[in-house]
């Protein structure tokens, strides 16, 4: 019996529902590598990472964790962990290099092979269509601020549904459109690196439209049993005090951070306060008739990515700010308590708060934690072991918060730990490690961290042990 072959025991105190989905998650550009192989063309992240000063140490995703060539090895790791599901993303420029027209067979074959090997291992494939790697040719044509990009995305969704519809049962249209819109087009810290409040709001709207168009395409191409989803990095926003100006600061961030996506997708409308807040930037005339109806295509579940809470007070933010319409009214404060290597506060209560808010705001919508995890300064010791007790503590606390939310009536169906592998961490390059599997990027050797063994035991017992 290997160290990961844990057996259920009688110490479980937080038992999850019988059919709870236990998974792990990755993103194509962060792990695949093979950036110029088999017809793949540059994405906006290839271009951004090659721009001097944009990514720490000049790192790129050219090789990353070399998952493209090591997919069988990585699935074997997942099998040892005992995960029931694996959430991966498809590299849009690997399968449709220009963002238009026919697909590349070798690109599709890679994802067919990935799905087939997952199924053979007893692991359910969960596909995300967009995790930030827009084909550069579409960015050159205007990118997400341009309406046409939403229609190109829907076409791409149809290509993937035809190719993998018989293998993949759960489809997520977009991952964290807030980051892609506001960090990519608002303050420029993510690809494509633009700094325009108007462009970020246009991009956010076109992400909503793209999601709705793609959801309808998927519905028309997939079996009735297939699940269609959307993943948002919703902000657990807290006002610093109960003073009216601080409460208004929290309202502003909730509008441009959360309800800018929740209201169009689930209610078919834009928040009225968001329109007022952003009036100095735009009159929203780029929203065409029928767009909001299209954006509100029904979905089967909502994915939630959570890492830490957001604490705000009245004031102003540095420019350029990703918070369009709020930058002159809101300042951000550090939450108390321990912090991760990303300098993010550790606060599992924020996850519980978020799930209860969604329980109340979106009754009847199943929820899935599609990302949750932490980066720490872990390393392989002289014996080759990777001890990461801080990550174990973080994960335990957040899973306990999920369990508490379920007991409080939140319909949470699964948990996907971020991330399976240490990988290319966007603008931080390879300086931050989120994986429960350590990757030596020089040799590509994989090593289970203590957190991987811990997570395997949680999955095996179906919950958290006492103590």
Residues with a catalytic annotation lie at: 176, 371
| DSSP codes, 241-296 | SSSHHHHHHHHHHHIIIIIHHHHHHHHSS--HHHHHHTTTT---TT--TTHHHHHT
CA distance 190 to 187: 8
92/143 Cα distance (integer angstroms):
14
Beta strands 412-418 and 367-371 are parallel
Q: Are strands 463-465 and 12-15 parallel, antiparallel or unpaired?
A: antiparallel
Q: Given CA atoms 281, 285, 290, 291 in this order, what sign does their dihedral have?
A: negative
CA atoms of 95 and 118, how far apart (whole Å): 19
Residues 362 and 298: beta-carbon distance below 8 Å: no
Backbone angles phi and psi of 422, in degrees to 5: -60, 140
Q: What is the DSSP letter of 305?
A: E
Sequence-distant contacts of 114-119: CB under 8 A, at least 24 apart? 114/71, 114/75, 114/88, 115/164, 115/167, 115/168, 116/167, 117/71, 117/72, 117/75, 118/75, 118/78, 118/86, 119/167
Q: What is the DSSP string of 123-168?
A: -EEEEEEESS--BHHHHHTT-TTSTHHHHHHHHHHHHHHHHHTTT-
Q: CA 317 to CA 410: how far, in whole Å? A: 34
| Residue 11: both structure tokens together | 């110490």
In order of 14, 124, 361, the CA distances from 262 in angstroms are 30, 27, 10
CA distance 239 to 320: 22
Does an H or E element contain 105, and which? helix 105-120
C-alpha–C-alpha distance, residues 197 and 182, integer Å: 8
- Per DSSP, the three-state class of 464 is strand
């Amino acid at each position: 019996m290997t160290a990961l072959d844990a057996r259920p025991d009688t110490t479980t105190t937080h038992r999850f529902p019988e059919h709870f989905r236990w998974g792990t998650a990755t993103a194509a550009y962060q792990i695949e590598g093979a950036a110029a192989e088999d017809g793949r063309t540059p994405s906006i992240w290839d271009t951004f990472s090659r721009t001097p000063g944009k990514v720490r140490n000049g790192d790129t995703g050219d090789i990353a964790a070399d998952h493209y060539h090591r997919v069988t090895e990585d699935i074997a790791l997942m099998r040892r962990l005992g995960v029931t599901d694996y959430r991966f993303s498809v590299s849009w420029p690997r399968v449709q290099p220009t963002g238009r027209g026919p697909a590349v067979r070798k690109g599709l074959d890679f994802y067919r092979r990935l799905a087939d090997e997952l199924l053979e291992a007893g692991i359910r494939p969960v596909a995300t269509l967009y995790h930030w790697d827009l084909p550069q040719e579409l960015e050159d044509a205007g990118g997400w601020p341009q309406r046409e990009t939403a229609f190109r995305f829907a076409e791409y969704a149809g290509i993937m549904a035809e190719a993998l519809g018989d293998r993949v049962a759960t489809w997520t249209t977009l991952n964290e459109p807030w980051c892609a819109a506001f960090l990519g087009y608002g303050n420029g810290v993510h690809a494509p690196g633009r700094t325009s409040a108007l462009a970020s709001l246009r991009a956010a709207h076109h992400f909503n439209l793209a999601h709705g168009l793609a959801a309808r395409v998927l519905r028309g191409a997939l079996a009735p049993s297939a699940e269609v989803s959307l993943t948002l990095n919703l902000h657990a926003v807290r006002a610093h005090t109960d003073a009216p100006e601080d409460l208004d600061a929290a309202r502003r961030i909730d509008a441009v951070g959360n309800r800018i996506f929740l209201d169009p997708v689930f209610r078919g409308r834009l928040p009225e306060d968001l329109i007022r807040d952003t009036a100095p930037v735009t009159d929203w005339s780029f929203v065409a008739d029928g767009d909001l109806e299209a954006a509100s295509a029904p979905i089967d579940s909502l994915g939630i990515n959570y890492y830490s809470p957001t604490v705000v007070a009245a004031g102003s933010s540095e420019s350029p700010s990703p918070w369009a319409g709020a930058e002159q009214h809101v300042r951000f404060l550090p939450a108390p308590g321990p912090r991760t290597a990303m300098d993010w506060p550790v606060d599992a209560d924020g996850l519980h708060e978020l799930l209860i808010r969604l329980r109340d705001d979106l009754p009847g919508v199943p929820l899935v934690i599609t990302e949750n995890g932490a980066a720490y300064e872990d390393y392989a010791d002289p014996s080759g072991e990777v001890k990461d007790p801080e990550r174990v503590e973080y994960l335990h606390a957040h899973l306990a918060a999920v369990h508490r939310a379920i007991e409080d009536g939140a319909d949470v169906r699964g948990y996907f730990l971020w991330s399976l592998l240490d990988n290319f961490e966007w603008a931080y390059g390879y300086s931050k490690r989120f994986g429960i599997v350590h990757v030596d990027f020089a040799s590509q050797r994989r090593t289970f961290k203590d957190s991987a063994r811990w997570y395997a035991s949680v999955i095996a017992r179906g919950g958290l042990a006492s103590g």
